[in-house]
Structure 1
Amino acid sequence: MVALDEGLRVSMINSAAEGLFEVSRRMALGVPLAEAVPHFAPHELRLKRSLDGSTGFIERETKLSRAGGNSVTVDLTVTPFVVGKRPGLLMEMLPVERHLRISRDELLQSQFGASRELIRGLAHEIKNPLGGIRGAAQLLEREFPDSQHREYTRVIIREADRLQNLVNRMLGPNRAPLKALLNIHEVLEHVRRLVQAEASPEVAVLRDYDPSIPEISVDREQIIQAVLNVLRNALQAVGTQGTITLRTRTRRQLTISGVRHKLAVQIDIEDSGPGVPPDMAEKIFYPMVTTRADGTGLGLPLSQYLVHSHGGIIEYRSRPGCTVFSIYLPIEVS
C-alpha cells in the first residue's frame, strides 16, 4: 500500500510495498511518487487525473517496470480520500504471477464453462431413466395397492423425485434474468434476515453498507438466491459462534471477463471461520465439490452461474479467521 498527498508525494508506504519495489520508507516519504517509486513514472498522468477528479479506478494485471530493474505485475486499486481539506490517493497493489496462472476472470470462466457442460451431460443421462423408474413405481403401486407393497413403491417415487430435484438444482434456472431497477441493500437486508433467523445467538451478522450506491438492474429473485447461497456457506463456516459481515462498495473502471464497466457494485460476505482448505482452493466453484458430509456442492456453482448471467463474477480470498467472497455486478450508467 502507498498513500499519496495532493502533490502526488508519498505520505505512507508499508513494508510490503517497500519489498515489492525495493525502496526504503525513509528515502520515499515526502518524495514525488515518480522519483520514490520509478515504476509509477508512466502512470503519473493517470494518477493526477484520478486525484483531480476524485475518481478511483481498478486495473487488473498492470505491469510496472523501471529502467535497469525487474518488472512486477499487480492488480492495482486506486481510491481517493480526503484528510481535513486535503485530497490524496491510496494505492493498493496485489502482485500477480503472470507466468504461473491465467487471469482470474479467465480461470473462473473456464471453470464455469466446464462445469455447465458437465452438468448438462449428466442431466441428460439421468433425467430420462429417472422418469422411467418413477413411472414404473407408480404402475406397481396401482397393481399392488396393499400397504406392504405401497411402502416400497413410495420409497422409490420419493427418491426419484429427490434426484429429479437435485438435477434441476444443478441445471439452475431455465430462464433469462428478469431485470428491474432496485436498491441492492433491500436485497441484502432480506437475505440477512433469513440467515439471522437460522443463526445461533452467538453469531453476529454485521452490516457495512455504502448508502451512495445507485439502484442496480438485476433479477431480484436470482440475486437473492446467489447471495443467500454464499451467506449460508459463511454461516456454516462459523458454526455456532463467530462474525459475518455484509459489506458494499462501488468500484470504478472495473474489468470483468474482458469487459470494462464504468461502475460496479462490490458485495463482500466476510466470515471469521477457519478458511477454505488449500486442497479445495482451485475447485471450490466446481459442482458436487463440498467439505461437508451433508452438502451437495451446488450452492457456489449456482451462485456463480446466476451472477455470470448478470455480467458479473464471484471471487474470493481466504485465510484462517477471514474468508471474503466478493460478488461484482455491473451498474448500468445512463
Structure 2
Amino acid sequence: MNAAAGQGAEMADAAQIVLNTIRRPVIMISEEGFITFANADAEDFFRSSATMLARNTLSKLIPFGSPLLTLVDQVRERLAPVNEYRVDVSSPRLGIEKVVDLYVAPVPEFPGSVVVMFQERSMADKIDRQMTHRGAARSVTGLAAMLAHEIKNPLSGIRGAAQLLELSASDEDRALTRLITDETDRIVSLVDRMEVFSDERPIDRYPVNIHVVLDHV
C-alpha cells in the first residue's frame, strides 16, 4: 500500500512538472467551479499564485457573461472536448485586452471537473484587428467626402437658378427666391460640416448668435 501510495504521489508530481513545461496557461476547474489546478503559465496569465487562484471560482476571475463560462458548462454537460477561437476574456485583472483560443475538455478521473488551456492570440492578429478598424474609419471618411461632393453639385445649380429667377421676379416672388438661396446656403454649410470627417485640420471655433439660429428653426 505504501509503495503504491508513493508511486501515485510521484506520478502526480511528474504530471505537474509536465504541465508546468507547457508554455500555455492550463487550469482545472472543479464541479463547483473552483480552480483546483493552475500551471506556472496560468499563474502569470491570471496574475495570481496557484494558492490564491484555488480560493476563487472561475466566474470571479472572468467577466460576467464570458463565453468561457458557457463553454465550461457545455463540456461538463456533454462530456466532450471543445475548441473555441478568438474568445475575449478581457478584464482589469487580466489586462486591458485578452483575446485567446480555448481548448476545454472533461477530466474523466474527476467527475464534473474540466480542464481549460488558453492560447493568447499573436501580436500579428492584434495588428490585423487594428488595421481592420482603421480601414473602416477610412471608409467612413471616403463616404463623407463623396456625399459632400454629390450633394453640393446640384445645390449650386439650384442656387444659380434662383438667382436668375430673382432678376425678373416681382418683389413678392423675390422673397421666395431669396428663401431658396438662403436654404441652399444653409444646406451647403451643413455639408461642409460633414467634411470634417475627411479634414485633419483643427476645427475652427467661433461664437454664434443663438437668436440667428432660432430665427431659422
TM superposition score normalised by structure 2: 0.41
Greater Rg by CA: 2
Q: TM-score, normalised by structure 1?
A: 0.27
Structure with higher helix content: 2
